Structure 1
Amino acid sequence: MTSTFKSLAVALAATCTFALSACGGGVSESPPLEGAAIGGDFTLTGKDGKPVKWSDFDGKYRIVYFGYTFCPDVCPVDLQNIAQGVKLFARENAELAAKIVPVFITIDPQRDTPQIMGAYAANFGPNVVGLTGTQAQIDAVAKKWAVFHSRREGGTPDAYLMDHSRAAFLMGPKGEPIALLPAEQNGKAVAADLAKWVH
């Protein structure tokens, strides 16, 4: 097991521990991913083809999600739940919601150009940032977030599927890991966790 995947295992274990403590009535105030070795500086490419740095989001809470625009099911559902969660959270916490930036990073830069990423991200809201880059840049960023990604065998050069891990990372204003959001559930679940951790 690599150190990167050990970090994710520790983070997931922390999340599970938090969930169990919550069921027992002794809710911890510490974020589930506090201290986890997840995330870090990067420079990728935005929708206009210009560099976007991780530090550009300083002062903002970031919801980081890895996927690809040709994903047939999981990615659009998760991104819709993230967007809906932020929208629901904004109904009662407009000022705090304004400090949240969903960041969608492709794991398929071969097809996901800056323009494609920009248009796709816009489908989920005006504040969703779509980022791409070279394969080497994407691989490096995915490694920092312990995100698995691999092209599935078969298909054609223009039509193929990607396998990837599924997680929505809530990162704090300083870029620190806070929690894994339940994007695989629904918008209400995402909003509930945002209310818990965004202050």
Structure 2
Amino acid sequence: MQRKTIPLIGAMLAALAAIGLAALVVWNQLSGGSDGVARGDGETLVAPGLEVGGAFELTNHKGETVTQDTFQGQFLLVYFGYSSCPDVCPTELSSMAAAIDILAERDPEAAEKVTPVLITIDPARDTVDVLKDYAPAFHPRLVGLTGSDEAIEAVARKFRVYYGRGQQIDDEFYLMNHSGYVYLMGPDGGFVTMFNGGTAPESIANALQRYVAAAKTS
């Protein structure tokens, strides 16, 4: 039994490493980081030298083509999800929206430097017409991004996001399986940190406030 179990575990780990999930998460909820910025509850560090994020070309919920350069100078709070998600995605998007509002109450100028973004992992259903109603329902500044299957696959790979078609509920409706981190990208487009799913809006707001303040003094 043991001889069969070990190869099976090895195969599972290899599969995880192939999509970047095994390498992505190293420490959870650390109190401090090597960059000298205090880590808040819910933040996750990644392996040193591991790249997260990169160039992309997608379409926003207004039908405009956008790239990473469109958001230059802005912090991006990025979540990969889909509009037909029954529970997890709405919860995370609501938390992101609440974090932006909390930060706006404390420091309106800092909040203006953060753009919340939803990148769909279900482009077949999440068209521009769908996202133009869905994204603003959570926050007026939330940007919904969609694109071709190839474009979504490419950007998800760069962020090391897992996704795939899940349970078929009926003849027309299906669920999507996907990882659930919220990513914070810096004004230069580089990776800053990421948050575990279910992180409280207050914790996200605290982190945003720290990182925006640190960027002003650097």
TM-score by length of 2: 0.80
Q: 1:117 aligned to 2:131?
A: yes
Q: Tell me what 1:102 maps to.
A: 116
- Matched-pair contact (CA < 8 Å) for 1:183–1:189: no
CA RMSD of aligned residues (A): 2.1
* CA shift for structure 1 position 12: 2.0
1:78 equivalent among 51, 68, 92: 92
Q: Return the match for 2:162 from 115, 131, 148.
A: 148
Instruction: For residues 1-36 of structure 1, give each alpha carbon's deviation from its aligned partner in whole angstroms, at most 9, with x where no partner exists.
Output: 477644x544421x43x71xx2xxx66515845753
Q: Report the 3-state secondary structure (helix = DSSP H, G, I; strand = E; otherwise coil) of the residue aligned with 2:138.
A: coil
Displacement after TM superposition at 1:79 (Å): 0.4
3-state SS of paired residue (1:104): strand
Instruction: Tell me how many residue pairs correspond in the alignment.
Output: 191
CA distance in 2, matches of 1:9, 1:87: 33
Tell me, yes or no, if the aligned pair for 1:47 and 1:117 is still in contact at 8 Å: yes
Tell me the residue number matched to 1:12. Answer: 25
Which residue number corresponds to residue 147 of structure 2? Answer: 133
Match for 1:126: what amino acid? P
**Is structure 2 residue 77 aligned with structure 1 residue 63?**
yes
- Give the secondary structure class of the aligned counterpart of 2:168: coil
SS at match of 1:189: helix
C-alpha distance in structure 2 between counterparts of 1:9 and 1:195, whole Å: 29
CA distance in 2 between counterparts of 1:159 and 1:181 reads 29
Partner of 1:161: 175
Corresponding position of 1:38: 52
CA deviation map 1:17-66 (0-9, x unaligned):
x71xx2xxx66515845753010010001123221111100000001100
Provide structure 2 residue ranges, at least 5 long, that are not aligned to the other structure. Answer: 1-13, 40-44, 214-218
Which 5+ residue runs of structure 1 have no aligned equivalent? none
Indicate the SS of the match to 1:196. Answer: helix
Note the alpha carbon deviations across 1:99-153, whole angstroms, 9 max, x for none: 1001100000000001211211101111100000111111111000000000014
Residue 195 of structure 1 and its aligned partner are, at CA, apart by 2.0
Structure (1 or 2) with the larger CA radius of gyration = 2
TM-score norm. by structure 1 comes to 0.87
